[in-house]
Structure formats: structure tokens, C-alpha cells
Amino acid sequence: MKQNHTSVTEFILVGFMDHPDLRVPLFFLFLIIYVATLVGNLGIIIVTSVDAQLHTPMYFFLRNLSIIDIGYSTAIAPKLLKTFVAEKTTISFKGCTVQFFFLAVFITTEVCLLAVMAYDRFTAICNPLLYFAIMSRKHCTILVVVAYVCGITSSILQTSFIFTLSFCSSNIINHFFCDVPPMLKLSCSDTHVTHTVHFILSTIIGLTTFLIVLVSYIAILFAILRISSAQGRYKAFSTCSSHLITVIIFYGTIFFMYIRPGSSFPKDQDKIVSVFYTLVISLLNPLIYSLRNKDVKDAFARTAEKVIFFK
């Protein structure tokens, strides 16, 4: 492994400060997004934990998805908000390392978990009689643990390769967090191996999980088309639509950012796309799953009733 000869002890996060006239509105916009993300995902975690009717594999995975969303939005949002109120937002070398490590853990784990949730929906619709036997509590726990292990392993590898590079010139990160492209751009080492490792890991994990999702939903589509009643088809598809929306948005932004040759897009465009997969999707997930899911809405109502009337 390369020795770390870095002479940079801290980095400066530019964030969106190249648009000073937008400082105040952007601060409040991102603050609202972050607070709403915490409230929405905590709500999902609480409701799916306390409501007995939601103690099923689907909502077990949804609860873990909310935990992950809180994790990576918290890794990003506080520093981002600080860029709007401080004259110069710095992050230490160790702080940058820790931020990237946890961001990589949560994003990779979410990608894997979305594939697991697609497999869960495939099993529920294509093998309904064997669903609870296949998706037992033990099996579900193993799948979630595997998702986290993949996230941690990938993060350790990427963090090790990136933060053992030498950073000996500029310490200004033209981004609002420590991401791969701006970090590699700042390094004065040969980044070819690091870039290759990052690209290979991102491609393998991204495409493998995407293929699992794609194959699962193709099978689900054929199974739904074989259902004779229109009401049955609608009910089957409605249980998958929330997950499908999340998958399309998340994979779209991730592929745009990390599985593409070179960076031929303006930095501002990269920042906007990054906002989507680091903050906006974390907000959308609880909204999508609560507003489009009758079981979750009913559970929220039951939980609220218990709290209000002390039942």
C-alpha cells in the first residue's frame, strides 16, 4: 500500500458559495430537507417497529432503508449547512476520511438493500404460498447483514486507496462533501490505480444489483399480467410501485455520477445531481412509501391515535 506523504491537514469545502446571492435561500431549503428527512425516516422506523401489522419482511427492509437514509444524509447535511453560514468551511483530513467512509458505506448498502427489496417483492408475487417460508426472519436478517458487509468492504477498499494518496498542492474541494472525483483531482499522486479500483467496484456493485432489480421486475411484470382480475393486477403492482420509483431515481443519479467515462459535465451539474442522491432521495423515500402505501398510512393513523389518546 502507498505511504501517505500528504502535507495537507485540512480541506476547504466550496459548496455552493460560487452563488453567494443564493446563500440564504439555499441554507433554509437544505435545512428543511434535512429536518424533513430526519422526521420522515424516524417516523417510518417508529411505525414499522411498534405496529404489529407491519412486522413483515417488506417493512423490515423498509425500516433498514430509513436507517441508511438517516445515516448518509447526516454524513452530508451538517457540513453542507455550515458552508452557508461560515466564511470558510474547513474539514480536517481525518474528518474528510470519516465522512467519505460512512457515505460510501451507506450508499453501497442502500444499493444492495434495494436489490434485496426487489427480490422480496419477486418472492411475494411470484411465490406467494412459499413467501413467509423463504423470507423467514433469519433469512431477512442475513440479507440485510450481507448488504452492510458489502457496503463496509467496498468503503474500506475505496477509502484506503483514496486517502493514502498524496495531497500536496491545493486543498480546495469544489464540492460540498468529500467525494471521489474532486478528491482525485486534488491529488498530486498517480491516481490511475485508485480511479480504476473505484470504477470497477462501482460498476460491479451497481450493475450486479441493478440486474437483480431488473430481472426481478421482469418476472414480477409477467406474473402480474397472468393475474385474471384487473383489481388483482392493480393490487399486485401497487405493492411494487413505491420501490420501483425509488430504484429509478436512485440508480439514475448514481450511474450518472460514478459509472461514466471521465467528467465531461460542468461541476455545478455534478453538485446538483449529488444533492439528489445524498439528500433529496433520503427525503423522498419516506414520502413515497407512506403516501403510496395504504398499510403505512393506516399504521401512522393507528400510532397517532395511540399517542393522542394514550391507548
Q: What pLDDT band is residue 73 in, cutting at 50, 70 and 90?
A: very high
* pLDDT number for residue 280: 86
Q: What percent of the chain has pLDDT over 70?
A: 89
Q: What pLDDT band is residue 104 in, cutting at 50, 70 and 90?
A: very high
Q: Above 70 in pLDDT, residue 5?
A: no
Q: Judging by beta carbons within 10 Å of its beta carbon (0-12, 13-18, 19+), is residue 104 exposed, middle or buried?
A: buried
Q: Residue 93 in contact with residue 8, Cβ under 8 Å?
A: yes
| 224-243 confidence digits (pLDDT tens) | 888 777 777 777 777 777 77
* pLDDT number for residue 133: 92
Residues sharing a CB contact under 8 Å with residue 105, sequence separation 6 or more, in sequence order: 71, 148, 151, 152, 154, 155
- Across the range 68-93, mean pLDDT stands at 89
- Across the range 59-73, mean pLDDT stands at 93
* Rg of the chain in Å (alpha carbons): 21
Residues sharing a CB contact under 8 Å with residue 249, sequence separation 6 or more, in sequence order: 276, 281, 284
Q: What pLDDT band is residue 259 in, cutting at 50, 70 and 90?
A: low
- List domains and CATH numbers for the chain: 10-309 (1.20.1070.10)
Q: What is the mean pLDDT of the chain?
A: 85
> Poorest-confidence range of 106-110, 124-128, 175-179, 264-268?
264-268
Q: What pLDDT band is residue 308 in, cutting at 50, 70 and 90?
A: low
Q: Which residue has the higher pLDDT, 292 or 43?
A: 43
pTM of the predicted protein model = 0.87
